[in-house]
Amino acid sequence: MKTSLLITLSLAACLLHAEDIQRDVRYLDDGHARHVLDIYKPKEAKNLPVVFWIHGGGWQAGDKSDVALKPAWFMQRGFVFVSTNYRLLPEVDMGALIRDCAKSLAWVQKHVAEQGGDPKRVLVGGHSAGAQLAAILCTDDRHLREAGGDFGGLIGCVPVDGDTFNIPAMIEVAETRAKVHGFPLPKYGHRLKFGNSPEKHRDFSAVTHVAKDKGIPPFLILHVAAHPDTSAQAVHFGNVLREDGVKVTVFGAKDTGHSKLNNDLGLPDDPATKALEQFVKQVTGR
């Protein structure tokens, strides 16, 4: 009941602080039905930093409306909040998903000033599958540049409980676990989702693209502390970033779960939200 009340109050605050919530804005004029995004902006927005959010759903499901408390929380802190859709597996391949997100982000950078946002200050985030997509956009600069966007305009990245920053490692762990315990391999597991090719598995892994002096923005990697896979991926990714001089915070949230961690972002006294607030202050300088 307490959580439901807080969610209701936060949604009311979202409407109170939003001068405009624009839904189903097309980022590709002649594109797919899922080439749309939602824009939440505070009253009298002017030159505000921007959040670009990518939903989860195993790359096969999910929707831009799955943002819970985040638009309200970010708007209350002076952000324009954008949540995007993208095409899904298996209708298209993983490369198309990444390109969709890159095109959406590039569109935001080109048009968000019209909504009171600053295209030079964009924070990219995402949950689960969206965490992998956010991380690859913020490490592999080819995607955003090819879409006509500005990699230098990214001020931070917040991937939430992703398990595929290092895809070959995740595949090996999952498949070894299944074999050792006599479980059948999934019919459409990570190996196939990411192209069934070692080269593609490496190329779609954010860890592959980390390098010094590349302009990679600071990272806040949130993960469920009790989950061995997302914890291992988060710590390893954080170490790779740190070794190449990228500012990174890895925060393991206790007493939570994969969906709860994401949905609770924005709740008062939530530890992961406090880590997020500190990170936001660092990357915005306020």
Tens of pLDDT, residue by residue over 240-285, are 999 999 999 999 999 999 999 999 999 999 999 999 999 999 999 9
Taking residues 205-229, report their average pLDDT.
98
pLDDT class of 286 with cuts at 50, 70, 90:
confident
Would you kindly state where each structural domain of the chain is located, as residue ranges? 2-284
Q: Give per-residue pLDDT as tens, 142-161.
A: 999 999 999 999 999 999 99
pLDDT at 1 over 90: no
Question: Mean pLDDT lowest for which of 1-5, 203-207, 212-216, 253-257?
Answer: 1-5
Count of beta carbons in the 10 Å neighbourhood of residue 120:
15
pLDDT at 84 over 70: yes
What is the pLDDT, as a whole number, of residue 207? 98
CATH architecture assignment, domain 2-284: 3-Layer(aba) Sandwich (3.40)
Taking residues 77-92, report their average pLDDT.
98
Q: Which residues does the annotation mark as catalytic?
A: 128
3-state secondary structure 228-245: HHHHHHHHHHHHHHHHCC
Task: Please state, for a pLDDT cut of 90, what percent of the chain lies above it.
Answer: 92
| Residue 8 C-alpha from the chain's centroid | 24
What is the pLDDT, as a whole number, of residue 4? 45
What is the pLDDT, as a whole number, of residue 11? 52
What is the pLDDT, as a whole number, of residue 8? 44
Taking residues 226-253, report their average pLDDT.
98
Select from 241, 262, 263, 259 the least CA-distant residue to 250. 241
Which amino acid, one-letter code, is at 117? G
Q: Give per-residue pLDDT as tens, 10-58.
A: 554 554 445 689 999 999 999 999 999 999 999 999 999 999 999 999 9
Q: Give per-residue pLDDT as tens, 163-185.
A: 999 999 999 999 999 999 999 99
